[in-house]
Structure 1
Amino acid sequence: MSSRHRIDIGESKPRRSRFSDGPDNHARDRSRSPDNHVKLKQNASNKSPFTAQTNPYNGKSFSAKYFELLRKRIKLPVWEYKENFFQTLSENQVTVLVGETGSGKTTQIPQWCLEWVTGRYPTKKAVACTQPRRVAAMSVAQRVSEEMDVELGQEVGYSIRFEDCTSSRTVMKYMTDGMLLREGMSDPLLEAYGVILLDEAHERTLATDILMGLLKEITKQRLDLKIVVMSATLDAGKFQDYFHKAPLMTVPGRTHPVEIFYTPEPERDYLEAAIRTVIQIHMCEEIEGDILLFLTGQEEIEEACKRIQREVDGLGPDVGELRCIPLYSTLPPNLQQRIFESPPPKRANGAVGRKVRTVFEIQFGFVLFHYMVWSIEIAHLNNLCLTVTLNGIFLSIYLVSHACSSLFPAFFSQIRSEK
């Protein structure tokens, strides 16, 4: 049984309001002037991004790949709001931005903030963008470094637990929210940054909530610091209220049809059914594209990868190469980077090569689904449960709710057509 769902997200205009910064009592704030704001807005609206030939961040000439990526960037939904964003950022100390998945907010907004900081501060200030997960911080930093035509670890870098891929030249840093908290221990006012962005704020991790409280206090002492809170959900009223009625910008996403297939009956062995589905897709589908498989935990992921790889390797050279890559939070960072490898090439007979990425959290899928054509969801979760009879907490596998399962087509529809 199958049905096609198209999820349309209505476009709404951003709402702006003036937020008073209060008196300028600090010497570092005296250089701020309305003329500077006007100049930034005019540059954003009148200057074509294709006219620049020299990269302002490393002094080198832009490569052909830079302009190729730029043509894709300007087609993102968020690009239409660049002028409005500059104006809102200039006039308010805190901005709340709601952008649907696929709008481009995670990659484009920090670059605009860096452009604003470069034209605003006489001394070097960096831009920090927090992510709730390590793999997101690494992958987005890699993408932004390519879009800015700079080397990862130099002008653009990332900082996660046990790994610091930055240098003295870094002006754009993606990091986990916990790492920014650590920096706050040695630099209480976070003086190194001109703009701090809290991405995926709707997930409300403990570190993100603590950061919001910390940044709220810092903004009282640093009137020059700009805060951007980014969320993928429309329920941003709490963030606005917390930051004294901060203005809200809403950026719509783009949608594509997603075709959904259900099993006729519940599967007794969902792992076996998922493995059979992966192999069937790889053997029967001629369309190029990777497969995303959601399972319940590390043990299932490793078992599935071994079984899938063993069975496909035994099919012979008539079937395209299949590379099964696991991803979970405790995997070492160097092994997590394998998810960004290119898929295997076609064989001489035209058989398509693919990758299967096996994950157990939908949040990992948000980072990876740009490359996906098929996703397989087993509708089971592994979570901590509290039991009164046993007087303890244990892990239990249970069926997901209808509301949770509806997240998958809703989020995947933002990037490309998918099954």
Structure 2
Amino acid sequence: MKAYVIGVGMTKFEKPETRDRQYWDMAKEAGGAALADAGVRYGQVEQVAVGYCYQASTAGQRAAYELGLTGVPVYNVNNNCATGATALMMARQFVEGGANDCVLALGFEKMKRGALGGGADGGARGGATDEHLATSPVARHYGVMAARHGFERTPPTAQIFGNAAREHMQRYGTTARQLAAVGAKNHRHSADNPYAQFQDVYTVEEILAARTIHQPLTKLQCSPTSDGAAAAVVVSERFVRAHGLRDRAVEIAAQAMTTDTEESFASGSCIDVVGRPMSRAAARQAYEASGLGIEDVDVVELHDCFSVNELLTYEALGMCADGASGELVEEGATTHGGRWVVNPSGGLISKGHPLGATGLAQCAELTWQLRGEAGARQVPGARVGLAHNIGLGGAAVVTLLRRA
């Protein structure tokens, strides 16, 4: 049974503590927008999958109750930075498996200021303690990094991705300018996105001159902590036909989740431990399941938590050979007028990264793109979109969306 996205919604992503609004307020806004976009009442929703990382157990119920008190099952989902796409995957599985005809996937986060550290819990900030990191779910990942690079007093997540960037530069000759070009592209794209946390445009030189977080990554190449929410209504083909929603429907052509394997750790490389093998496997599974390939894709929303991860993901998705990703972004192949448009929303770097909402915000952007509703950032003639959402610890989710 096929599954379709018929409604999406999101809040503007904002700096943490910008406004005095609670996570359930943001969830109500995003969820309400998705239901309105779909033309569906909350009473028609049969199950709800709610993703978040920083709130307590059953926060999903607290958020969903703002949309209605109908007694439907609510599932609380936490898969680190891949949480939003995991909630979407759960909704799709309910529909494709025939359990339900209408499911809501909802994701939100209300975060604190400061760098994200060694995991997605409240203690894992830039100043995370050695004890915390030793007991963190990603301790094995940081152990691989420390064995090769040591451990410095910089934000742990920036450190592991920064070390992946160093390895990429040493192995393939990737340059600091190519890494900065990712940030420049995504900041430029976000200028046309009213939902983006930042809408400022920067040159490559300005990005290189920004404060260094962990060499070679500067602040303008790193995703910020953010407050925000996003949602999607996922339905069956039967529901689409019964309610005359074909004009709103975007098919989930395929979706795959992978987790770490021996390959992630065997090489001792941060390139592998931050997820390139997971992403490659998830992409391969999604391509095989859908009959589509990267050559069929028009627009991509991928997990650019740091500029280097966008380059690693180009390679994992098959957009170029390993080591050629720096040239790909530098020559303009991944922006408007190029072969693909990657992160027209501004990506995590500029749109923002409220962990539980990120994967669903990617779904929202691609749904608008495939419907031709993305305004100034529209990719002309877009018919197939790819979303990539990854979390250390680990999970990689690749979703292929196709205009019905």
Query: TM over 0.5, yes or no?
Result: no
For the aligned pair, the TM-score class normalised by the smaller chain equals: under 0.3
TM-score, structure 1 normalization:
0.25
TM-score, structure 2 normalization:
0.26
